[in-house]
Amino acid sequence: MSIHPRNSSTNRFPIFKEIFGDIKKYNILDFGGSSGNLLYFSQGEILENSYTCIDISKEATDSGQSEFPKARFDYYDRYNWMYNHNGNLDLKFPNINKSYDFIWAYSVFSHTDLDEMLKTIKWMISLNPKKIAVSFLDLELALLTYFYNKRIERYGYSIDIRKFCNNDFNTVSLFDSNMLTVNKLKLESYNCDHFVTFYNIDFLKEYFAEQDIYINIITPKNSTVPFLVIDREGINDY
């Protein structure tokens, strides 16, 4: 897995700032943060010694730790269908003896199943944050069309995921361009080059509420994808 590039199209800091507001003096956990791109693009608004990044790429975390020595970078060798085929699917979450004010994950749960999302968010909650914000993909026609076209461009063929743009489906997962699972919350390991999961927003709200986790769904003005946001009052203790 390569280090995520830095350019104007990969600068997510404006979205982060819109969601969290004033961030100075707050401890921030960037889950799936590559080599610290969020810290880099903050241009000093995020304090280096208040920033922790966790990522499944050792190359990325080593690079980030070298660039930002006062920050903390943790390599998390967990399996992922797309990004880390040799990782451990049962690996426990990092042992972080620290609480965080704000927890952020961008384009992480676009590439996992719902079971992985729920387990990770429960772990995030255990860190006692003020707010959690994680991006995801919903079953909205524009997003489905975007990924359908990307798969056509890459493979020359794709299952037409655009037809799943309605409320009859809870989850839709596409492996490369030729394998699809629908309404399956926990997926078996399956190594592929491209993997995405889309969610029905109403289903997500109900599913998390059943776990006593109450979520808000927002789409920031600078974002093309929605975010699942949990404020402290929406969290029951675990």
What is the tally of structural domains in the chain? Answer: 2
Domain that holds residue 23: 8-137+204-234
68 has a pLDDT exceeding 90: yes
Per-residue burial over 70-82, b if 16 or more Cβ lie within 10 Å, else e, is ebbbbbbebbbbb
Q: What is the CATH number of the domain that holds 43?
A: 3.40.50.150
* CB contact at 8 A, 211 and 118: yes
Q: Is 234 or 142 the better-scoring residue by pLDDT? A: 142
Q: Which residues contact 152 (CB under 8 A, 6 or more apart)?
A: 158, 177
Looking at the structure, tell me whether residues 46 and 117 fall in a common domain: yes
Looking at the structure, tell me whether residues 88 and 116 fall in a common domain: yes
pLDDT > 70 in the chain, percent: 97
CA angle in degrees (0–180, nearest 5) for 36-216-55: 20
Q: Is residue 108 part of a domain?
A: yes
Q: What value does the mean pLDDT take over residues 203-214?
A: 96
Look at 8-17, 33-42, 56-65, 110-119 and tell me which has the smallest mean pLDDT: 8-17
If 0-12 CB within 10 Å is exposed, 13-18 middle and 19+ buried, where does residue 188 land? exposed
pLDDT in tens, 162-200: 999 977 899 999 999 999 999 999 999 999 999 999 999
What the block records as the tokens of 156 is 């020359």
**Short-list 42, 226, 57, CA closest to 139:** 226
Q: Is residue 3 part of a domain?
A: no
Q: How far is CA 141 from CA 117, 119, 170, 199, in A?
A: 23, 28, 15, 12
Looking at the structure, tell me whether residues 224 and 124 fall in a common domain: yes
Dist CA 50 CA 70 (whole Å): 9
134 has a pLDDT exceeding 50: yes
What the block records as the tokens of 18 is 């819109």
Q: What value does the mean pLDDT take over residues 136-149?
A: 97
Q: What value does the mean pLDDT take over residues 77-83?
A: 97
Dist CA 47 CA 27 (whole Å): 8
Helices (H), 156-210: 201-210
pLDDT band at 238 (very low <50, low <70, confident <90, very high): very low
